[in-house]
């Protein structure tokens, strides 16, 4: 069977189970787009290539499947860089297909030529330049294998125009076997026996769960471990939803804006079981004061993450789901009858911290952002998929919306990319057309990819955008208030569009609340609308996110309300 490169590409994508591509056409991918007209693959035409990669990322985070993004050469490719770096930092499986100038022009400074393979080498898990049509199918198959296996991540495939135009006798790709790439899925059982003994001996243990738990679909196994051993759980921002937020053992998020009980318990615990985390600086604060009394068990599929930032007593290399399954079986064979009694003082202490130092705010005459998020949680019963932008809106979403289920918080954790939330919400809505998807945004961050409103409206996606509008780059302003004597250098957003009129201009619904008593009515109208909706909440301008740990300080030294 003779096929063109474009036909081989689309056939291979379908064979990999792809049903949706997020993209933006251009000269070097025009043959692929021409072939898409005769394909049943769904293409979502975004308005900017950064929107395409973030949408593919959001699709992957919500569905657990590989997201696919298709863009042209030159600026089309470079416009995806922020999104690729974002997926790389958060270990999200995305395959990015970029067009390239014809092979004979590479290196000639041709129109819209850029070395995207060289540029993305530091921020992809792997990347390819396809040299011939004959190697195209095998390359795509390898890209999906690498993106979704081991520690997931973005893989870029750069395809010259002549490669997609050539016609060859098609040969199905072989099973992928890469000699230098063999992720370790099964843990060393001797190490797990050590973990069981540490759990039996510990008086003040905590579990610290991260995004790796969600990526390996290990939330059920983690919950089983916590409940049978009566160990309280804290999560990173990326790990929210790995353990039910409403469970009595849940301590909420740890870190710079974590809960008092999560941060304080890290300074008092005698055992930390860290699962699928990378101990980034926003979690640890000053590293040499982090968990000073604890033995740390670190479970992760990526051996390079272990002992990278924090010393570890028991390293366990393995897939989180497989490892926790083995650990739970070992614990089932262990006498844990005294665990409840042994943990009581510790659990009582944590409950006391929860009661005496909860998240707090006073709702007065001006709308508080925390109140908006609390009302959103109440009205959605915690069942919405929430995407966020980055900054104060992101932290208030993490603090006041309680995530009971995996894959329900989509947020830019590692890179902290403003402009992520709206296209990510579009990707999630494509993956789950019947779910309520809400982007919690700031008035500055929403403008970074506001053009994707057109995408949402064109495809009749009922995405809801909740703008917490304080007229500032809120988080930077907060740092200026705390650490720069209120010198608000360039953080005042002196001019912004009327978001209600902007929504209407895109063909969406625009709503606004300016008083606390209007919040619930606006949320109800917006959430129950079948259309794309922007809800603009005019909030307290200089509200701050508390607690806050100053950068570089010990995680237990928090600024409180």
Instruction: Say whether 111 is catalytic.
Output: yes
Token duo for residue 207: 């579990």
CA dist 495 → 472, 491, 533 (Å): 10, 12, 22
DSSP 160-176: EHHHHH-EEE--PPPPP
Nearest one of 133, 130, 140 to 166, comparing CA atoms: 133
What is the sign, positive or negative, of the torsion defined by CA atoms of 195, 198, 199, 204? negative
Q: Is-contact 258 399, C-beta < 8 A?
A: no
Question: Do the strands 295-300 and 464-469 form a parallel or antiparallel pair, or are they unpaired?
Answer: unpaired
CA dist., res. 449 & res. 213, Å (int): 29
**Other CB atoms closer than 10 Å to residue 178's CB: what's the count?**
11
Instruction: Say whether 531 is catalytic.
Output: no
Instruction: Say whether 112 is catalytic.
Output: yes
Token duo for residue 112: 């819209």
CA dist., res. 11 & res. 30, Å (int): 17
Query: What angle do the packed helices 320-332 and 189-201 form, to 10 degrees?
Result: 60
What is the sign, positive or negative, of the torsion defined by CA atoms of 40, 44, 48, 49? negative
Triad 555, 557, 561: Cα angle to 5°: 115
**Other CB atoms closer than 10 Å to residue 40's CB: what's the count?**
8
In the beta sheet, which residues pair with residue 3? 168
Catalytic residue among 251, 475, 548, 558: 475
Catalytic residue among 161, 295, 354, 375: 161
Catalytic residue among 14, 111, 351, 486: 111
Token duo for residue 241: 């939803």
Catalytic residue among 45, 112, 357, 432: 112
Residue at token pair 């995305």 = 94
Token duo for residue 224: 């089983």
Nearest one of 555, 64, 498, 531 to 283, comparing CA atoms: 555
Catalytic residue among 49, 221, 374, 389: 49
What 3-state class would DSSP assign to 66? Answer: coil
CA dist 491 → 462, 472, 477, 478, 494 (Å): 31, 6, 6, 10, 9
CA dist., res. 262 & res. 358, Å (int): 11
Active site residues: 49, 111-112, 161, 475
């Amino acid at each position: 069977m003779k096929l063109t490169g474009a036909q081989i590409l689309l056939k291979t994508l379908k064979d990999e189970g792809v049903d949706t591509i997020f993209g933006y056409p251009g000269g070097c991918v025009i043959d692929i787009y021409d072939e898409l007209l005769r394909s049943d693959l769904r293409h979502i035409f975004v308005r900017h290539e950064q929107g395409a990669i973030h949408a593919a990322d959001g699709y992957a985070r919500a569905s657990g499947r590989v997201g696919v993004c298709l863009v042209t050469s030159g600026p089309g490719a470079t416009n995806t860089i922020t999104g690729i770096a974002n997926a790389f930092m958060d270990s999200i499986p995305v395959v990015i297909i970029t067009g390239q100038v014809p092979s004979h022009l590479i290196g000639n400074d041709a129109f819209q030529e850029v070395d995207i393979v060289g540029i993305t080498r530091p921020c992809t898990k792997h990347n390819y330049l396809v040299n011939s049509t004959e190697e195209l199918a095998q390359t795509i198959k390898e890209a999906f294998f690498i993106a979704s296996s081991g520690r997931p991540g973005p893989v870029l495939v750069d395809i010259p125009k002549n490669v997609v135009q050539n016609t060859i006798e098609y040969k199905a790709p072989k099973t992928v076997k890469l000699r230098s790439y063999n992720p370790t899925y099964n843990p060393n059982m001797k190490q797990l026996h050590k973990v069981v003994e540490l759990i039996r001996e510990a008086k003040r243990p905590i579990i610290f769960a991260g995004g790796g738990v969600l990526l390996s679909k290990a939330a059920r196994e983690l919950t089983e471990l916590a409940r049978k051993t009566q160990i309280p759980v804290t999560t990173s921002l990326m790990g929210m939803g790995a353990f039910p937020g409403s469970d009595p053992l849940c301590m909420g998020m740890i870190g710079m804006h974590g809960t008092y009980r999560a941060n304080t318990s890290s300074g008092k615990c005698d055992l930390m079981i860290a699962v699928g985390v990378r101990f980034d600086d926003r979690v640890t604060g000053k590293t040499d004061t982090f968990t000073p009394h604890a033995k740390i068990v670190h479970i992760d599929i990526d051996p390079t993450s272990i002992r990278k930032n924090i010393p570890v007593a028991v390293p366990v290399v393995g897939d989180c789901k497989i490892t926790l399954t083995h650990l739970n079986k070992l614990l089932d064979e262990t006498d844990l009858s005294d665990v409840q009694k042994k943990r009581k003082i510790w659990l009582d202490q944590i409950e006391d911290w929860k009661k005496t130092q909860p998240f707090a705010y006073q709702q007065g005459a001006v709308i508080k952002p925390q109140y908006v998020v609390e009302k959103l949680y109440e009205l959605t019963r915690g069942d919405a998929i929430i995407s966020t932008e980055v900054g104060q809106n992101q932290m208030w979403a993490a603090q006041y919306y309680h995530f009971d289920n995996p894959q329900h918080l989509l947020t830019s954790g590692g890179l902290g990319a403003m402009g992520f939330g709206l296209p990510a919400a579009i990707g999630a809505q494509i993956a789950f057309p019947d779910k309520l998807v809400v982007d919690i945004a700031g008035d500055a961050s929403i403008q970074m990819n506001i053009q994707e409103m057109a995408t949402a409206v064109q495809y009749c996606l009922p995405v809801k955008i909740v703008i917490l509008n304080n007229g500032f780059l809120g988080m930077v302003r907060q740092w200026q208030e705390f650490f720069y004597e209120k010198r608000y250098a360039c953080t005042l957003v002196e001019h912004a569009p009327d978001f209600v009129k902007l929504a209407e201009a895109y063909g969406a619904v625009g709503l606004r609340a300016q008083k606390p008593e209007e919040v619930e009515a606006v949320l109800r109208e917006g959430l129950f609308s079948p259309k794309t909706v922007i809800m603009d909440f005019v909030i307290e301008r200089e509200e701050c996110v508390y607690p806050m740990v100053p950068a570089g300080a010990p995680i237990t030294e928090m600024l409180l309300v």
